[in-house]
Chain A
Amino acid sequence: MHYRRALNVEIGARNMSETLISIASRGRSQGASGRITLRELGRFRRYLSPLLLVAVWQAACASGFVSTRLVASPWQIAQTAASLIADGTLTSNLGVSLLRAGAGFSIAAVVGVTLALFSGLSRVGEDLVDAPLQIMRTLPALALVPLFILWFGIGETPKVLLVALGATFPIYLNLHKGVRSIDPKLLEMTRTLGLSRLDTIRNVILPGALPDLLIGVRYAVGVSWLMLVVAEQVNAESGIGHMMMDAEDFLRTDIIMVGLLVYGVLGLLSDQIVRFLEAKLLVWRPLARGATR
C-alpha cells in the first residue's frame, strides 16, 4: 500500500508542480529504500518507447510479419555492424566520409567567417558580398551536383566542395547577423571609453557575435552530413554513402541500415561537440553556466 501511494505521488510530481515534488520526497523519507530505484526508473521512461519500438520491430521480423529482405531486423543489423567493423569495411569507409565532411566543413568555416566579417564590418564589404550571397543561398545546393561533376569530375574535389558550399551559408548568414545586431549602445559606450576600432572589434563585436556564429556552426554541421550523403551516393568509390549504394545492388537492407545508423550517430555526436563548445565559450551566459553545472 505504501508502495502504491508512492508510485502515484511520483507520477504526479513529474507532471505537476513543486508542491507535489515536496510531498513525494517527504513520502520517500518515511518509506523504504526500494522507492529510490522506482524514481530512477522514472528517468529512463524517456527511453522506454524507443526500446519498445525496437522490440516490436524485432518481433515483427522474427514472426515473418515483415519481410527481412525489405527490412532487416535489429539483431541482424547489430550482427552486420559487428562483421563490418571486424573486416574493416565500416571503419575505412567511415574514415573517408569523416575526412570529406571535415575538409568541406573547414573550407566552409574559413570562407563563411571571412565573408561574414568582411561584409559585417564594412559598408563596402556589405555591398560587394551580401547581395550575391543572399541570391546564391536561395539556390538548393544539391541542384549543383550535376554541374559539380561536370566541372570537377568524380574524384574527391566535387564531394568536398559540395559540403563546403552547403555549409558556408549557415555560417555566413548567422555570423553576419550577429555582427550586425551588436547592441549600438555598447558601441556608443566603447566610443566614450576611447577604444580604437580594432579594440572594439576584438572586445565587443567578435565576442558579441560568437553566440550567433555557434548557431551557424551547428546548422553547418547538419548540412555537411546532408551534402555528404548525396555526394557519396553519386559516383563514389568509398565512404558510408557508397557502402550503402553498394548494398542496394545486393539487396542488403541490413548494410543500408547500418549506414543510416552511422549517419545518425555522427549527427548526434557532432551536435554534442558544438553544444560542448557553446557551454565552454559562452560561460558568461547564465543559461550556459547552468547547463554545465
Chain B
Amino acid sequence: MSAALKRVQGELAAASVHAASHEDGNVAVIVEGLTRRFGDGPAVLDRLDLAIAPGEFVALLGHSGSGKSTLLRTLAGIDPVVEGAVSRPREVSVVFQEHRLLPWKRVWENVVLGQEGKDGRDRAAAILEEVGLAHRIDAWPLTLSGGEAQRAALARALVREPGFLLLDEPFAALDALTRLKMQGLVGELWKRRRCAVLLVTHDVDEALLLADRAVVLERGRIRVDMPVALERPRKHVDPVFEDKRETLLKSLGVSL
C-alpha cells in the first residue's frame, strides 16, 4: 500500500470516528461558540467550536497569544465561561508546565491531595508505580529532579481517574532526553487508560508523536484541524509524518 493511500484511509477512519462520536452524543468535551475577551481588546477566543471524543488524544498548537492558554484554563475550570458553552466530564485533571507540588507534603501526600479515604498511601503507591516513581513515594518534592516532579504531577492527575486530562506544555521545562522519556510514558498511560486528552504544546513533533488529531489555533479560532492517523509507535522517518509536520509548521508560519 502506498503511503499516500494509507494516509487517505487513515484520515477517513479518523473522520468517521469523529462523526460517529457526534451522532451518538458520545462526546467527552464539547466547546460551542466560546468567546472570551479581556477588557476592550480583541477576542482571545473567537466563537470557538471544538469537540473531543472519549479516549481521543488531541494536540493543541499555536503561537503565544493565540488563545491556547485561555482555552485550556476555561476547560480546566480555572477561567469562567463568559460567552458560549462548554461541556466536559465531571473528573478533569490538569498537569501544568510547572509541577506545582506542595513542597511541604511528601510525594504520596501530594498525589492524593484532596482525595478522601484512608487507603491514600496505597492508592498513591499504585499510581506512582505506574508512572515509575515508586521509589520516591516518601520524598520531599524539593528533592525531586524535574522529570521526577513531573511524574509525580502526572500521578496526581491520574489518581482521580479523569475522563479528560489536560496537559499544559508539561514537558517544556524538561531537558531533551527526559522529555523523550516522558512523552513515551504519557503515550503508554494514555493507551492503558484511554481518557480524552488535550495536550497544549509548541512542539510539532510531540503533537505528531502522540496525538490522534492536531489542532492549530490562531487569533482565537481554529485554523487547522488535522487528523493524525498514523500507526503507533510512530517514527519520524515515516514520509507521512514528515508531510504532516510540514503542514503543521506551515500553518504556524514556519516554512522549511
Chain A residues proximal to chain B, CB less than 8 Å: 185-186, 188-195, 199, 203-204, 207-208, 210, 282-286, 289
Q: In the complex, how many angstroms separate the beta carbon of B169 from the nearest chain A beta carbon?
A: 14
The residue that B96 contacts in the complex, of A185, A195, A203, A282, with Cβ under 8 A, is: A185
| Inter-subunit contact B100/A189 (CB<8 Å) | yes
Q: In the complex, how many angstroms separate the beta carbon of A290 from the nearest chain B beta carbon?
A: 11
| Inter-subunit contact A192/B103 (CB<8 Å) | no
C-alpha gap A210/B102 in the complex (Å): 13
Is there a chain A Cβ closer than 8 Å to B1's Cβ?
Answer: no
| Inter-subunit contact A204/B102 (CB<8 Å) | yes
The residue that A194 contacts in the complex, of B96, B114, B142, B143, with Cβ under 8 A, is: B114
Q: Which residue of chain B lies nearest to A285 when distances are taken between CB atoms in the complex?
A: B142
C-alpha gap A185/B96 in the complex (Å): 9
The residue that A199 contacts in the complex, of B76, B92, B114, with Cβ under 8 A, is: B114
How many pairs of A and B residues are in contact by the CB < 8 Å rule? 53
Q: Which residues from B are CB-within-8-Å of A189?
A: 94, 96, 100
Is there a chain A Cβ closer than 8 Å to B190's Cβ?
Answer: no
Q: What are 29 contact pairs spanning A and B, CB under 8 A? A: A185-B98, A188-B78, A188-B100, A189-B96, A190-B114, A191-B77, A191-B78, A192-B77, A193-B113, A193-B156, A193-B160, A195-B113, A195-B114, A199-B114, A203-B102, A203-B113, A204-B102, A207-B102, A207-B104, A207-B105, A210-B104, A283-B140, A284-B104, A284-B141, A284-B142, A285-B103, A285-B142, A286-B140, A286-B142
Q: Which residues from B are CB-within-8-Å of A188?
A: 78, 100
C-alpha gap A285/B76 in the complex (Å): 30
Is there a chain A Cβ closer than 8 Å to B35's Cβ?
Answer: no
C-alpha gap A192/B141 in the complex (Å): 19
| Inter-subunit contact A186/B102 (CB<8 Å) | yes
Interface residues of B in 57-98 (CB under 8 A from A): 76-78, 92-94, 96, 98
Interface residues of B in 114-167 (CB under 8 A from A): 114, 140-143, 156, 160
Q: Which residues from A are CB-within-8-Å of B96?
A: 185, 189
C-alpha gap A283/B139 in the complex (Å): 11
Q: Which residue of chain A lies nearest to B92 when distances are taken between CB atoms in the complex?
A: A192
Q: In the complex, how many angstroms separate the beta carbon of A14 from the nearest chain B beta carbon?
A: 30
Q: Which residue of chain B lies nearest to A196 when distances are taken between CB atoms in the complex?
A: B114
Q: In the complex, how many angstroms separate the beta carbon of B148 from the nearest chain A beta carbon?
A: 14
